A = this chain, B = another copy of it.
Amino acid sequence: MGELQWKTGITKIEPNKIMVRGYPINDLMGKITFSQAIYLILKGELPDDKVGKMMDIILTASIDHGATPPSTLAAITSAATGAPMNASLAAGILTINKYHGGAVEGMMKLLIDLVEKIEKENLNFEDAVLDFVKDKKEKHERIPGIGHRYHTNDPRTDKLFQYAEELGFSGKHVKALKSIQKKFNEISGKNLPINVDGAIGAVLCEMGFPTALGNMFFIMARVPGMIAHIYEEQTTQKPNRKIHPTDHIYIGPEERHL
């Protein structure tokens, strides 16, 4: 044993054997989805089908939001100068931070704290949420997860909550978020939606993910989306073009349904 020897609990490699969290990877292939494999490697245990389906829904919901998010713009700005794909992808990932994609983690922390406080101090749920919203308002602090800079009613949120209900992930944290939104709108006279990042944060709390991994769901989902944009830039646009952050038109397939 060398003096620098260290320990890891994720994957064991032996000659002709690769075991992820104990499971031979060739046993997993074909038996679980990629989403279930993601859950396994992050949480250490195999998810059942309901968990797997919830993972699929969360990751599908965030796969892309068009050409205007700053991560996409940074990725294609890099691609336009002739970068290899992985470098452009890295530039995009470095552009996912507090103000873009960061609402998931912020929401999780807030909901976990609020629910914990209610339980520890044995508070009335609705009163506690009302106090929380009032306090935020007085301090002029933004609540992550409430409001979207573009959508007045985020179409992904309802669908996410509907499945969360159906699949058994609609517990205290989801309830708290819905209550926060209701009270926020009552007090402020506004009609702001819960955005998808906030909704995902609430569901990830129900699934028992640590807050530190919250934004990683946004990143894991957005990676294939950014790759699609990088590939489009490389194959259809002129090198080194000036990229306008909003003035573009969509030329893909018209609306269609499954």
Please report A residues at the B interface, Cβ cutoff 8 Å.
Answer: 1-2, 4-13, 15-35, 37-38, 41-42, 44, 46, 53, 55-57, 59-61, 63-68, 70-71, 73-74, 77-78, 80-91, 93-102, 149-156, 158-160, 163, 210, 212-213, 215-216, 219-221, 223-225, 227-229, 231-232, 234-237, 239-258
Contacts and interface: CB of A to CB of B under 8 A. Distances in A.
B155 A18 contact: yes
A247 B4 contact: yes
Name the prevailing secondary structure of the A interface residues: mixed
A133 to B, nearest CB: 23
B12 A30 contact: no
A48 B204 CA distance: 28
Nearest to A244: B4
A207 to B, nearest CB: 15
B94 A23 contact: no
B212 A8 contact: no
Given A82-B98, A99-B239, 15 more contacts: A5-B247, A8-B229, A11-B250, A16-B151, A18-B155, A19-B255, A21-B252, A24-B255, A37-B63, A81-B97, A83-B95, A89-B219, A210-B231, A213-B231, A220-B223
A85 B215 contact: yes
B224 A86 contact: no
A97 B85 contact: no
A37 B23 contact: no
Contact of A9 (B65, B78, B239, B252): B252
A229 B8 CA distance: 8
B99 A81 contact: yes
Contacts of A41: 63-64, 224-225, 228
A132 B200 CA distance: 45
26 contacts: A1-B247, A4-B246, A5-B244, A7-B250, A9-B253, A10-B228, A11-B64, A11-B67, A11-B252, A13-B66, A13-B150, A22-B255, A24-B255, A25-B63, A34-B34, A38-B224, A44-B252, A44-B253, A86-B87, A86-B96, A87-B90, A89-B219, A212-B231, A213-B231, A243-B245, A244-B245
